[in-house]
Amino acid sequence: MPAVIDPSRTAAVVLVGGQGSRLRPLTLTTPKPMLPTAGVPFLAHLLSRIAAAGIRKVVLGTAYRAEVFEGFLGAGSSPALASLDLACCPEPEPMGTGGGIRFAASALGPEYDEVVVFNGDILSGVDVRAVVAEHRAAAADATLHLVRVPDPTAFGCVPTDADGRVTAFLEKTLAPPTDQVNAGCYVFRREVLDAIPAGRPVSVERETFPGLLERGARLQGHVESSYWLDLGTPASFVRGSADLVQGAAPTAALPGPVGTALLLPGAKVATSASLTDGTTVGADVQIGEGSRVSGSVLMDGARIGDGALVERSVIGPAATIGDETVVRDAVVGDGASIGASCELLAGVRIWPGLVVPDGGLRFSGGA
């Protein structure tokens, strides 16, 4: 049975300090958790899930472009987040996952003896109350949310015994003994969290958890098969946004009804254009006659010409796509201008402000 969370003793830490290098050029100016995802910063979706679980105090562990998060908190962000007491804790230098958790938790008062930690780039349907309930039932020092994945060779594996106790942390291998992987959500007893070394970089995956196991601590695994997606690449970013728009991923922060497309205020779509597969059309975007946009994110102020095709792609703020141009599995950075009759395919990334002339040019690249 899911736990009842007492907001006077249970708090959350969200790690949002990474540079998001795999998502460049989108993250050159905007931290990954602040990228518009289904109409709002991705962080708003995560925070809405934390609020729904009954947690009130949340500390954001920031580093890269920390000022962007401060601005987000100061803007009153979303009605779904109104119940949260939010604070930022900027790292003086990169501290790693464990060091970042330890540093951010230092901003919590001693009354919070149970801390739930979230990676700020994971879109998840995790039942937070159920993870906390298992943590308490097992009298665990720390509990990890684990998910089963079809191909665990791409991840480190976390095997558990018949009682759910974690037995090892294994690096990537071609013959993993389990399909259970670390899903990036943890519950810590406060004294265990406070024992993480302060003032230096620490990896929670390579140092903290293995060290706890070596010392005989109780690490529990809460295994689920719920929705889970790491938004670290352009392909997963657009998929996650589309899943949110279509209701496949849970959120209370979607700024509109679930459906095949989400249109923000000021968007203008020609009557002969089509929007499908969870496309988000940002504020003041314009889409021309006969254009087709599928499973994509069009950020504020973008312009799509007539007869264009945009599939599974991200079009940055104020970027322009010319008439009859095809953009498929690609990223177009802020303010870039793509001429008519071009093709951007197979993972190509166009840097902010770049101008590509008319004339049937074809670009492709690795994802």
Where do the domains of the chain lie? 10-233, 260-364
* Secondary structure letter of residue 280 according to DSSP: E
- Is pLDDT above 60 for 38? yes
pTM of the predicted protein model: 0.89
- Is pLDDT above 90 for 304? yes
Whether domain 10-233 has CATH 3.90.550.10: the reply is yes
pLDDT-above-70 percentage for the chain: 96
Mean predicted confidence (pLDDT) in 306-320: 96
Pairing between β-strand 142-148 and β-strand 180-189 as defined by DSSP bridges: antiparallel
- Is pLDDT above 90 for 291? yes
Mean predicted confidence (pLDDT) in 287-307: 97
Q: How far apart are the first and last CA of the chain?
A: 42
What pLDDT was estimated at residue 352?
Answer: 94
Distance CA 228, CA 212 (A): 26
Pairing between β-strand 326-328 and β-strand 343-345 as defined by DSSP bridges: parallel
Mean predicted confidence (pLDDT) in 55-65: 87
At residue 367 the predicted structure's pLDDT band, cuts being 50, 70 and 90, is: very low
Distance CA 32, CA 38 (A): 14
- Is pLDDT above 90 for 19? no
What pLDDT was estimated at residue 328?
Answer: 95
Between these two residues, 62 and 115, which has the higher pLDDT value?
115
Distance CA 186, CA 237 (A): 23
Backbone region of residue 139 per phi and psi (left: phi > 0; alpha: psi in -120 to 50; beta: other values): left
DSSP string, 78-135: -GGGTT-EEEEEE-SS--HHHHHHHHHHTTS-TT--EEEEEETTEEE---HHHHHHHH
- Is pLDDT above 70 for 229? yes
50-54, 192-196, 225-229 — which is least confidently predicted? Answer: 225-229
What pLDDT was estimated at residue 287?
Answer: 97
- Is pLDDT above 90 for 332? yes
Distance CA 83, CA 103 (A): 24
What pLDDT was estimated at residue 62?
Answer: 83
Sheet strand arrangement including 10-15: 85-90, 57-62, 10-15, 114-119, 180-189, 142-148, 219-224
Kindly report the number of other CB atoms within 10 A of residue 359's CB atom.
9
Distance CA 329, CA 347 (A): 5
Mean predicted confidence (pLDDT) in 158-181: 86
At residue 80 the predicted structure's pLDDT band, cuts being 50, 70 and 90, is: low
What pLDDT was estimated at residue 299?
Answer: 96
The CATH superfamily of 260-364 is: Hexapeptide repeat proteins (2.160.10.10)
Distance CA 342, CA 350 (A): 13
What pLDDT was estimated at residue 307?
Answer: 96
Between these two residues, 23 and 287, which has the higher pLDDT value?
287
- Is pLDDT above 60 for 75? no
- Is pLDDT above 70 for 4? yes
In the block, residue with structure tokens 């690795």: 366
For residues 150 and 228, the answer to whether their CB atoms sit within 8 Å is no
What pLDDT was estimated at residue 114?
Answer: 94
